[in-house]
Amino acid sequence: MRRLLLAVLLFSVTPITSGFAADRYQVEGYVLDNGLQLILKPGTEPGHVAIRLVVGVGFDDFSCADQETPHLLEHLMFSGLDARGEGGLEERMQALGGEWNAFTGNTDTTFVIEVPARNQRKALDLLLAALTQTRIDQQAMDTAKAIVTREDGGHSSHLQTWLDHQAFGHEASDQLATELGLKCGGRPSVDHLTLAQVNAVRSQWYAPNNMSLIVVGQLDRLLPAYLERAWGDLKAIDPVDHPDSTLVQRKAEQRRDLIQGWLGDSVRLHWYFIEPVLDDVPDAAYDLVQRYLDWTLYQDLRLAHGLAYGPNAQRDAFGDSGVLSLNADLDRNDIGEAERILATRLAQLKRDGMDEATFKRLKQAAVDHQAWAIQGDSGLADYYWGALGDYEDGHFANPADALRKVTLEEANEALKGVLGVTPYVRIEKPLLGYDELNQVLMVAAAVLVGLMIGGLLLARRRSRA
């Protein structure tokens, strides 16, 4: 009750609300008695509210065979509340002037709503009804299965399965993650999933003590009291431990060509470095390493040699492992030269480290970027969604603070740690280039001419005989 009174006071005093809204990393966050985590933030856009409901269940909580279960349930939650079904549910959201969607990721399932501020409580009522009153039957299950199957590319034929095993048409990062055993291979299937499995996920994971509700925008003064009354009635469950991953890590080929399409001279070069875990090196140091290498690629491959228009460095995650990639779109004939330039530059950086003046400039640019990296109330709600792991006691970690603290020595240690790992090289290219096609056509033409001449000579001999 004390937390509720504080929240009501917050939304009742205009000067406090205005100053409170200016600090994007400070929120009114508290947990209801049933375990539901609330994150409320007055926004800067009048007349609008962004809502994110994050449920702590995703693909990583299931085996490869069953990994589509939470995705299937996500679609089923829009099946409808009455005989009007999915269409009737959508009509009710349209009547509120809002839009909604949902997304299933590796670690969570998130429901996303944009709605006029005047209808924020009605939209939350509708979301609550979808969570608690949606009726899931076999007909709804079959419809959701068809939708998920189409989203995943349709049913796999024997030919498609074979092409998947050859990594034909797969993006380089997906192919490498699968080869390393950090991602499920092949196309997922929902055909074998049952109502019992889906209902088990709903009962075990869709509970308030496994949810975070984020509301950003022109908040209703009665919102805290409403949430305490309506959402506070949800029943908590005994927590379910997230299962250990069933994926088995494997070795991957150091270098591999991946076929993307049938004909063309454009290729995409990727060098992937698995980021080492180093004591006393903050994660922000790797962000600055990425920025430094991004600038280096631009200087070398575009400005100095004109081999690539938009080369870039990028950070991603493969399971629990951080990955830094160097990427460039090239002409097929320029792969060798580009790799020689990269190898020379990276050897120099490994030996000498970063240029101090360049590091300071790029570091300041990274800090300044944070001032405009998050745009609008929807962007802020999405940021909170993605940064829940950095949230504590009403505050999200400020990325600018972490970047400011990184020293040149820490960045160089991170850089040399990355470059001390042999990269995985992946080259995405069409099956044939135009020069190769010309060669194939010339050989085919020569063979055809040879066969025609041979046929004429054979026919002439037979006529003489």
* Strand 255-259 versus strand 211-217 pairing type: unpaired
* pLDDT, tens digit (0-9, with 9 covering 90-100), for 335-393: 999 999 999 999 999 999 999 999 999 999 999 999 889 999 999 999 999 999 999 99
Residue 158 pLDDT > 50: no
What is the rounded end-to-end Cα distance, in angstroms, of the chain? 111
Question: Considering all CA atoms of the chain, what is the largest pairwise distance in Å, rounded to the nearest integer?
Answer: 112
Confidence of residue 192 (pLDDT cuts 50, 70, 90): very high
User: What's the average model confidence in pLDDT over 195-210?
Assistant: 95
Q: pTM for this one?
A: 0.84
Residue 242 pLDDT > 90: no
Element (H, E) at 22: helix 14-22
DSSP 269-291: EEEEEEPP--TT--HHHHHHHHH
